[in-house]
């Protein structure tokens, strides 16, 4: 059995929640724990959720304006991001790699093997639209990306 590379790890957790305040507390904790240890973060969520996530990070004493300015915290709109790689109603793997893979590379550039933390709602956005097959394919593309990059995804 090949030895695992401790620097190339991928963790993926799915969060089920009773109400959105519980979700935002979990996201705030997950991202702030990484940010205080030097792990950059990417958030891809709806605009309303992005605002709530920024509030949750502030509640964890994260200087979100500074983190964003330094490139430690990247906030993206889920709908706009989906628009960069969806083709004929399905996620295109090459466009996905370009959009998301390149964003990850840009965010971790110059940080050596520092892992990245990410929170994303794109699969949920597709699911809520009734695009179950597209949501599943997007999940598959995300798992493929995880085999190439080091990040923890909530």
Query: Residues 69-93: pLDDT tens digits?
Result: 999 999 999 999 999 999 999 999 9
How much is the pLDDT for 40? 97
Segments making up each domain of the chain, as ranges: 11-153
How much is the pLDDT for 17? 56
How much is the pLDDT for 112? 81
Ranges of residues in the chain whose predicted pLDDT is under 50: 1-10, 12
How much is the pLDDT for 15? 55
- Residues β-bridged to residue 21: none
In sequence order, which residues have a C-beta less than 8 Å from that of residue 113 and are 6 or more positions away? 7, 150
DSSP state of 119: E
Q: Give the C-alpha separation, 77 to 48, whole Å.
A: 10
Task: Enter the pTM of the model.
Answer: 0.86
Cα 149 to Cα 29, 59, 66, 70, 85: the distances in Å are 22, 29, 25, 21, 18
How much is the pLDDT for 5? 40
In sequence order, which residues have a C-beta less than 8 Å from that of residue 91 and are 6 or more positions away? 82, 85, 134, 137, 138, 141
How much is the pLDDT for 83? 97
Contact 12, 151 (CB under 8 A): no
How much is the pLDDT for 100? 95
- Burial degree of 37 (CB within 10 A; 0-12, 13-18, 19+): exposed
Contact 51, 24 (CB under 8 A): no
């Amino acid at each position: 059995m090949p030895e695992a590379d401790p620097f190339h790890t991928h963790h993926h957790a799915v969060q089920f929640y009773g109400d959105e305040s519980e979700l935002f507390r979990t996201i705030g904790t997950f991202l702030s724990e990484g940010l205080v240890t030097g792990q950059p973060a990417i958030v891809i969520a709806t605009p309303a959720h992005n605002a709530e996530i920024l509030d949750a990070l502030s509640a964890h004493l994260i200087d979100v304006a500074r983190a964003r300015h330094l490139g430690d915290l990247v906030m993206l709109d889920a709908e706009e991001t989906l628009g960069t790689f969806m083709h004929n109603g399905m996620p295109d793997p090459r466009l996905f790699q370009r959009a998301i893979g390149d964003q990850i590379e840009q965010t971790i550039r110059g940080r050596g093997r520092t892992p990245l933390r990410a929170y994303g709602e794109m699969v949920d956005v597709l699911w809520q639209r009734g695009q179950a097959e597209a949501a599943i394919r997007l999940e598959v593309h995300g798992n493929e990306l995880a085999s190439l990059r080091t990040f923890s995804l909530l």
